[in-house]
Every structure is written in C-alpha cells, then in structure tokens.
Amino acid sequence: KNEVEQSPQNLTAQEGEFITINCSYSVGISALHWLQQHPGGGIVSLFMLSSGKKKHGRLIATINIQEKHSSLHITASHPRDSAVYICAVGAGSNYQLIWGAGTKLIIKP
Amino acid sequence: NAGVTQTPKFQVLKTGQSMTLQCAQDMNHNSMYWYRQDPGMGLRLIYYSASEGTTDKGEVPNGYNVSRLNKREFSLRLESAAPSQTSVYFCASSPDGNQPQHFGDGTRLSIL
C-alpha cells in the first residue's frame, strides 16, 4: 500500500463545477504539500499546510491531521485549471518528501 | 525572474554515453533536489543537497552522481547511460528542508 494515495486518479468535469481532489496518507507528517503540474510539464507549488485550511484565489486546501487526509478544492473551475495535481508529505526526513501519483484533472468548456 | 534553470531541455543519448544535467537557482535557496518522473509514477528523488557542500542519496540514486558546485548550482551526472534512465528529470530548490519547492522546467532525456 502506498504511503500517499490520491483519489480520483482521473477527473473530468464541466467548466464552473466545484472540484475536490483527495489525498490520504498513512504516516505521521510534519507538513503536506499540494502542487500543480501543467500539461507542458512545469511544476508549481500551490500550498504547504500542517493544519487547518489555506485559500489562494479559487483554490482551497484543507487538512485533517487526525484522519490523515487532505483535500484540494477548486471553485468555479475553468479549462485553464486542467493539470495534474500532486500531493506530497514531509515525514521524518526534512528533505525526502513522499509523493502521490497525482490526479489528472480535465475541465471541459 | 529566472527561478530554477535547467539545461538542456532535451537530450538523446546512446547507451553507455555520459552526460551532465545542469541546474542553477537564483533565489539564494539552501536546499536543492534532483527528481525523475516516469509515466504513471510519482516523482522520485535521486539526490538532494541540504546545503552547500553536502549531498545525500534519495530513493533512486544508482547510476547517478551529483555535485553541489556552489550555493547556486547542483549538477546531475550519468556516467554510463542506460535505457532505464530514459525519463524526465526535474531540478528543484527550497529555502530549507520541508518547505515549498521551486521546480525547473525539466529535461527530457532519452537513452537509445
């Protein structure tokens, strides 16, 4: 069983829909990261959180430490949100993150 | 506003050839990383450098060597390339450990 699991693996939605991507982990963590990988390949860090909730524009990330679960929400989704969203956790080593396999999101106009 | 710069962007090698992937960051970050990304798999850490003058193995170090030349630059060397090393390679940096990482655009490497 992978230590970091994301669901769904693939998600297709219509423009404007509310999107939720989930990340579950099985180890104790110091922080959880959400990243976005664009279709062209570039990777951008979206959030780093260790408790509660963070918001940036239409993106919201939440984490429940007790349940070992995090969600990434996108409100009013847009085709430009189409990307792979990756969850990673810092556990033990400060330098070796444990990476999820990613969720591929397609938003149709 | 360069951030993390990787060179080259694309490279094709023959089995047994050697090459060095270059990475430089201009954000005064202490920590730097090399990852590989293969289809259907998450990022895998090859080597990292917590700070200038130090390097450590990651999850998949075999077949690679690294050099932290100075605070800005962190290079990855394939001494004798193998087809299994065909992948997309990403360099990243962060202020220190377990902080948001900034990624380069990647190098697509094919070994024939």
pLDDT in tens, B1-11: 679 999 999 99
Does any CB of chain A come closer than 8 Å to the CB of residue B38?
Answer: no
Burial of A87 (0-12, 13-18, 19+ CB in 10 A): buried
A18 vs chain B: nearest CA distance in angstroms? 25
CA distance A58 to A65: 23
Per CB-CB distance under 8 Å, the chain B contacts of A95 are 31, 33, 48, 50, 56, 97-98
Burial of B10 (0-12, 13-18, 19+ CB in 10 A): exposed
Beta bridge partners of A87: A34
Each residue's pLDDT, cut to its tens digit, for chain A (109 residues) gives: 579 999 999 999 999 999 999 999 998 888 999 999 998 789 999 999 999 999 999 999 999 999 999 999 999 999 999 999 999 999 877 788 999 999 999 999 9
- The identity of residue B100, as a single letter, is P
Burial of A5 (0-12, 13-18, 19+ CB in 10 A): middle
Q: Which helix (H) or strand (E) holds B26?
A: none
